[in-house]
Amino acid sequence: MSSKFQTQAPTLVLLHGLLGDRHDWAEVSAGLDGVDCLALDLPGHGQNHRVRVASFEAFHHWLCDTLIDRGVSRYCLLGYSLGGRLALYHASRQPSGLEALWLESAHPGLPANERSARIAHDERWATRFEQEPLEDVLADWYQQPVFADLTEVQRTRQIQRRLGANHGPAVAKMLRATSLGHQPSLWQWLEDTSLPVGYFSGRRDAKFHHLASRLASLAPRLRHITLEGGHNLHSEQPDDISHNLNAWYQTLG
């Protein structure tokens, strides 16, 4: 890869999901060819576990300030699950310097009549994260239908990894602030935007694969990439994600 490409290509900013941290992207980053990456810990997570944001808009401003602090002026975003929803909201605010958006297993938003039920659902989980032993909450968290493709070995490994890296009350605050019930619907924005957008979905993740297929039918400019896997593709198929990102970056050369 030429030095010209390395200096001129936009930075790839990576946003993990709830309970994750910046290290979740290590295998994807390792497979990228000459791409400058910045994997961030979300507020309430990792090195930023003491950072609080009260809303999607507050996160948008936090990310803008963080990128300025890191000297990032041109960038692309890749976000998984919660990180994808936050990336999508940020992109919808049309920040200066954003050149592409990549989503992985991320929801564009609920219709208005479903939001209050989702807020109540997330509040129940937030209360548990605050009040119960983290190991007990995680054991139930990873039994949710969206994680149905995990084997018992994978589920146990995931729980052990998240157990040592998270603080229950911090997770609860982030979950409340960024509930899908508080997220505006961004389906129409995705249909209308001229920003390059890609969406990774796993064939074994029935809910989000169906959602992504529907989204692609409504937003013909959106690039839907289907991979063999479940919800957490950057963990299951990091090489495939890196391959697709490398191919896109090559078009900039």
Domain 3-110+183-250 is found in CATH 3.30.70.141:
no
The residues of the chain scoring below 50 in pLDDT are 1-6
Predicted confidence at residue 119, as pLDDT, reads 98
Partners of 116 in beta bridges: none
What pLDDT is recorded for position 5?
42
Q: What is the pLDDT of residue 252?
A: 83
pLDDT (0 to 100) of residue 6: 44
Residue 206 identity (one-letter amino acid): A
Query: How far is Cα 157 from Cα 194, in angstroms, rounded to an integer?
Result: 40
**pLDDT tens-digit series, residues 184-238:** 999 999 999 999 999 999 999 999 999 999 999 999 899 999 999 999 999 999 9
pLDDT of residue 7: 53
Burial class of 225 by CB neighbour count within 10 A (0 to 12, 13 to 18, 19+):
middle
pLDDT, position 4: 39
Predicted pLDDT at 175: 97
Question: What pTM does this model have?
Answer: 0.94
Domain segments of the chain as ranges: 3-110+183-250
Q: Which of 233, 238, 240 is nearest to 209 (CA)?
A: 233
